[in-house]
Amino acid sequence: MKALPGNPYDGHTLKAVIPEMEALIGNIIERLLGDKGYCGHNAPPEYKFRVFTSGQKRRVTPKIKRELRRRSAIEPVIGHLKSEHRMGRNYLWHRAGDATNAVLAAAGYNFRRLLRWLSLLLCQILAQLGLQMRFIPA
């Protein structure tokens, strides 16, 4: 997760984000799936990839259609971050506060997922031992 200062247009964030994404995943990006905000993107010319947006009809193969449908699974995560992890309103000051709020919300989301996984693991271990424990989803 990264907080970009100001209120940048979606398509204009690619120039700053693509090199960091490639460094993070350790691979070259071949195609980018985005929402309609990425139509007029300003990706650097040295990146030879295609940007596919939701609602696009031309040059969309069945595989890309599947990937675009999978992309829509991200929207509930964003809504969950806004409602459960205080991303709806930022109470911290200035640009450093914006970045800190975004990173802390992502860390809280990942920590909640880790706790859920650990509780499932504990339930399986106890079931193997013959004990019963009821799993309560968070």
pLDDT tens digits for 32-72? 888 777 776 777 777 767 778 878 888 888 988 888 888 77
Please compute, for residue 83, the number of CA atoms within 13 A of its CA located in the half-sphere on the CB side. 6
Instruction: Give percent of the chain above pLDDT 90.
Output: 11
How far apart, in whole angstroms, are the C-alpha atoms of residue 110 and residue 50?
Answer: 30
Amino acid at 71: R
Report yes or no: 11 and 42 within 8 Å, Cβ to Cβ.
yes
Average per-residue pLDDT for the chain: 82
Q: What sections of 54-130 are H helices per DSSP? A: 62-71, 74-84, 94-128
Range in 72-81, 114-123, 128-137 with the lowest mean pLDDT = 128-137
pLDDT tens digits for 4-24? 777 777 778 888 888 888 898
C-alpha pair distances (Å), 60 with each of 8, 31, 39, 54:
27, 12, 15, 10
pLDDT band at residue 111 under the 50/70/90 scheme: very high
- Tell me if residue 67 falls in helix, strand or coil: helix
Structure confidence at residue 85 (pLDDT): 81
Whether residue 117 is predicted with pLDDT greater than 70 in this model: the reply is yes
